[in-house]
Amino acid sequence: MAGNDAFQVQKPRSMTAGARNVVRTNDSASLWNCTLSPGWSQEESETLRKALMKFGIGNWARIIESGCLPGKTNAQMNLQLQRLLGQQSTAEFAGLHIDPKVIGEKNSKIQGPHIKRKNNCIVNTGGKLTREELRERMQRNKEMYELPEEEWSAIELPKVEDPVLMLEAKREELRRLQKELAKVQGKIEQMRTIQPARMDQLKNTVDNETQVA
DNA sequence: TGAACTCGAAATGCGGAGTG
DNA sequence: CACTCCGCATTTCGAGTTCA
């Protein structure tokens, strides 16, 4: 782990020196703490959706504990939740057993000059909600969107038999893709330096190899 | 009881891809 | 080449929890 004193991880230059410059448990598992940051496949996204319906929005500890999404940090899951919901702010759904896709479809239809989006997610432009406002919104969302208990409690989540093996397979796949990328980049570099007469021939080779990969 | 710690939410910044 | 947009990691903050 990055917090291990025996294992000094080089910090990114963007980080300023100071009290906050420490690795915390919810720090994203990526780049500077040297672990993989896999993207989200369709299946993983679907698993997250089911897990959120079953355990409640934002209940990351229960989701991690269930082992249905090994290797994912709460930061990664939170980002994916924002994508599913179509909005950045998730507090008004905290703890609710709802289908995030329903909210996402509703949000995708909202238009107007007052709506600011980033990554297709609606960003909060108003001030921060007061506790009372937040409580009211949560109550309203609960009434409108919460699934019946018999429905969410019956949700079955896929169980990964060996998370260590699965992560190793992902690392192997990443290594393979990196090699592939280096090969293609090498060919591109060649194409830039060779005579134009051979350009088409080489381009076809690259195209074919890319399609096979 | 208050400091230290943990967790989740949200804001911010960076880099790559696309486009004119 | 400059600009914009998108996706993601990183940073920061607040609230809750633990423990001496």
pLDDT confidence of residue A77: 75
- Say what the pTM is: 0.62
Residue whose Cα is closest to the C1' of C12: A20
pLDDT confidence of residue A180: 62
pLDDT confidence of residue A186: 63
Q: Which two tokens stand for residue A186?
A: 């090498």
A100 contact to strand B (CB, 7 A limit) = no
pLDDT in tens, chain A (213 residues): 223 333 333 333 233 323 223 333 333 333 333 333 335 666 777 788 888 888 788 777 677 767 777 667 666 777 777 777 777 777 777 777 888 878 877 776 666 555 555 555 666 555 455 556 666 777 777 788 888 888 888 888 876 666 566 666 666 665 665 566 566 656 655 655 555 555 556 555 545 544 444
What is each CA distance from A175 to A37, A61, A189, A204, in whole angstroms? 13, 30, 21, 25
Q: Which of residues 36-55 of A touch strand B (CB under 7 A)?
A: none
Q: Can you give the residue ranges of every domain in chain A?
A: 32-154, 163-211
CA distance A89 to A122: 8
Task: With beta carbons less than 8 A apart as the criterion, state whether A8 and A15 touch.
Answer: no
DSSP state of A123: E
pLDDT confidence of residue A42: 65
Q: Which two tokens stand for residue A198?
A: 């051979």
Residue whose Cα is closest to the C1' of C7: A119
For residue A41, the one-letter residue type is: S
Separation in Å: B7 C1' and A177 CA: 34
pLDDT confidence of residue A97: 81
